[in-house]
Chain A
Amino acid sequence: MSELLLELRSEVLAPEHLACWAGRLKESLVAGFRAADLAPRQSAVGYSGRRLMVLFRGVGEHARNPPSTAEEALDRATEAVRQALDELAEAVAAAGWSLRSGGSRAVSILALLDGRVLPLEWNGVAAGAATVGHRLGPPESLVITDAEEYRRALERSGVEIRFVERRRQLAARIAALLGSADLAIDDDTALLGRLTAECESPVPVLGSFERGHLSSPRELVRAVLRERQLAFTVSRGGRPEARFLAVVDHPEPVPESTLRGHELAVATLLDDLRFHWTRDRALPIAERARRVEAGIVAGGDPLEAGRRGRLRALAAQLCADAGWGAEVAESARAAIDLLDADLDTSLAREFPELVGVIGGLLARVEGHPEAVWHALYDHPLPRRARSTLPRGGAALAVAAALRADQLALDCLSGSIGAGTQATAEDLVRLVMHGGVGCDVDLFAARACRLLEDSRSQEAVRRARSQLAAALTQVLEWEGFSSAEIRAVCAGQGSRLLPDVLARSRGLARLRGSRELSSLVATAKRLAVILDGAVVATVDAGLLIDQAERNLYTQIGETGGAVRRLLAEGRYESWLVEMSRLNDAVERFLSEVLVHDEAERIRANRLALLEAAQQLYSSEVRLAELDG
């Protein structure tokens, strides 16, 4: 017994979930085979837009209770596969799809244990020894005997089942296609991955479009090709070319008619883009903003009607907190007056994913100042965890004001969901990475109060809670551990987010150092000793032992330096200073009996330790870190 080959085939599987589903199938199978004492030595997965594959080698090699017959092995494996398929079906259903009906319904199961078909029927499909090749390949079934034959048979029909290999081949083909013509495409790993997952036989093709489309804004052309056609724009020496690169799912050679089809689809999209762009430019953006505003006022919702005023107030507040000049504040205000104008455009209706970009471009072509059109263009940023921030102070102020207002509205209505959390995370990122010296809690509270509703206080409380969770999430995205985040957030340092980020980075630089580990261990000891203790002030006259007098002196010497070094972000020097204190604390703890019989002495020693502990918790609470 050595090899299990399982392939589940559908007409189509949602590409964005393929990696997750293939991994889930493998994990469930490994668990099931372990439980059946058939644990594999090696495992591999493969997937495409039509199939999931798992391959085990060395099945049951180290079994303590190996099956006595081949039939028993088949039975055990069948049960494990059935269980794994059930679990996979649950995972697929959780993502909103189904292996039991619709396009993703399992249409065939190839299940071989050492070349023998598992006696399995799942969801009305009997397992067999056959599969099919590419949709455009020969229609005959491919009868499979083992994994090697499976790989070769698929390869002959143009299918590469291994995702990583398929992506490597696609990247190489793209490089060859572009290199021969001295062309380049955007480095878009996500799109490349999406296309690799979807296609069984991905082949890049270079198409062309009418040169006149190059006069449409480049970012619109790029966004439309990417989002609607999953195609790349092409450039030569940084200059855009009237060409695009598409990836077709067609075993080579790709017929000319397929390329013509993609060219027609791209031409249609770009014609649309030009049609809408021309129509939208006919009316000044300020007039569009007035139309949108008039529509909102006519709607009669006071919260909607007051939105622009609230945004102006919030942006002005942020600019003042950040110390930005009147010019930045004025640009932010001008951008807010034009905000949402692009909702009135036909481009935004046709391509809603380009809201923001459209307004910014219209403002740019009308000659509005750069700070203003940047603020309009960038206001939807950041869109996700790692996307870029708006450019410039005015743009940051507008984007932050929008998020704070939306957070306040969500918190006021109580309809808090994933969108609210995303809004809070965006706000935290804007303030933190934008280097804005404002207290984000106070900023959000201001946004809640601007709603002038009796429920504002409750909204403030909810907003605080959302922002705390968002801060943790954003710091996690930055790569800080949960313990580091707890240590930084629980410390007594500045609450301003750029400072929180600086502290987190400083602490992370010391990660793994022996000195820091010693500090953490001592901090945890102090926390245990002082837990529940009632602490008074230190009376120097009651310090008897040399070790406690030493510690008293060291606290005095270290205290000022520690706070100054942390404030200056000099974490390495802080660590040196704290190590001196740490030695003194450790000596105290080993030589002095804290819980002296005399109550005054005992209280004085606890007070001394409390004074030391203050320094272990000043900017970062060291006791929160992992030892």
Chain B
Amino acid sequence: MSAAGERSLATLAATLVDGWVGNGCVVLDPWDGELSARSMAPQAFFALAGERHVRWVTRQVVREPSEARYGRSPVRQVRSTQIRVLLRPTPEDLFGHFVASLRPSEQGLDECELRLRPTEWRVRDLGVQGSGWLALMDGLLVARFIDLRVAGGSAVDPTATEITYGVERLALVASSDRSLRRLQQEHCAEYAVQRRDEEQELSRHLLEVLEEGELMRRLERELAAAQRSLDERLPVPAFESILRGISCAEVLRARGAFRTLREARAGKRLTELSGGCRRLVGSAHGAGERTRSGDV
């Protein structure tokens, strides 16, 4: 395989996943619905309930409407790939593994400058809070390491840590000419063209075409659906509705349309509903319940 090939998006993602598998993590299938870059997939969110112990790694495609740049930005994209790692409880030596994972020599990352900056993390719609570190390599933000303290509005105990890598960004750092387009072309020429067109269309769709009133109505429908599922004690469908609601909210925010108290109340409602989901799952998965695939 050529040097460029070795540093392609796919091999970099595989290296990260393999590294965490080597650290005892189970590979989890990605969430099959639309997921915002800052929110959590249902399995991850519910893993924070009760006292479950997990070590998971997932390759997840995410969407970030606020990153819509019509395919013109070298870094910002609506659709991107993340590698997400969730460990609960947090192993003592985890941060050392995280730092080491950023510097695999076979990817040419071991000579890059690494800076770690403190950050307070908050996903308001899910009632998630934590603190941790942002990792910048050669000046580019590539990953975050967050100790989660609160989820769904209640404390996470035992503690959990979520690590998120931006695969494209990390690959950019590893590439010699720092061009995302070149990376995509190396990955596959057709893929690069497709991704450019996709970003242009998605940007136009999200920032211009979607009708704000319809988005608000869709959000309200998802909130109502989540409440109905919760009333039926069905937290997973409820959370799926919440995630769809968050997707609407994210588009509204990206367009600056999420600014009135009415919308703020919708945001608060999302938080309350996700708290309800977590409580429901927490009551079902109490101490000692460690049966799902990938649990330890």
Contact = CB atoms under 8 A, between A and B. Distances in A.
Given A261-B139, A267-B74, A295-B259, A101 B113 contact: no
B85 to A, nearest CB: 15
Interface of B: 66, 69, 72-76, 90, 92, 95-96, 99, 111-118, 131-133, 136-141, 145, 147, 159, 161, 172-173, 176-178, 253-254, 256, 259-262, 264
Interface of A: 11-12, 14-16, 49, 96-97, 101-103, 105, 107, 124, 135-136, 198, 229, 246, 248-250, 254-255, 257-258, 260-268, 271-272, 275, 291-292, 294-296, 298-301, 304, 343-346, 349-350
Nearest to B147: A102
A263 B99 CA distance: 23
B73 A295 contact: no
Nearest to B68: A275
Given A135-B114, A265-B140, A298-B262, A11 B75 contact: no
B90 A102 contact: yes
Contact of B113 (A103, A261, A291): A261
| A97, A103, A291: most-surrounded residue (chain B CB, <10 A) | A103
Contact of B95 (A103, A275, A300): A103
A258 B177 CA distance: 11
A101 B95 CA distance: 9
Contacts of A267: 74
27 contacts: A11-B99, A11-B116, A14-B118, A16-B118, A101-B90, A101-B147, A102-B132, A103-B116, A103-B132, A136-B111, A198-B115, A198-B117, A246-B139, A249-B114, A257-B111, A257-B176, A258-B139, A260-B178, A265-B141, A267-B74, A294-B260, A295-B262, A299-B261, A300-B262, A344-B256, A346-B254, A349-B253
9 nearest A-B pairs in the assembled complex, by CB-CB distance: A261-B138, A299-B261, A295-B260, A262-B139, A265-B139, A12-B116, A268-B75, A103-B95, A264-B178
B132 A260 contact: no
Contacts of A265: 75, 136, 138-141
B173 A261 contact: yes
A225 to B, nearest CB: 11
Contact of B69 (A15, A96, A124, A271): A271
Given A96-B131, A246-B139, A296-B261, A264 B115 contact: no
Contact of B112 (A257, A271, A291): A257
Given A14-B118, A264-B178, A299-B262, A275 B69 contact: yes
Contacts of A11: 95-96, 99, 116
What DSSP secondary structure best describes chain A's contact surface?
helix
A266 B132 CA distance: 23
Contacts of B118: 14-16, 97
Nearest to B159: A101
A449 B78 CA distance: 49
Nearest to A123: B92
Contact of A101 (B92, B112, B259): B92
Given A103-B116, A295-B260, A301-B261, A258 B138 contact: yes
A250 B177 CA distance: 20
A301 B161 CA distance: 39
B73 A271 contact: yes
Given A11-B99, A103-B145, A249-B115, A264 B131 contact: no
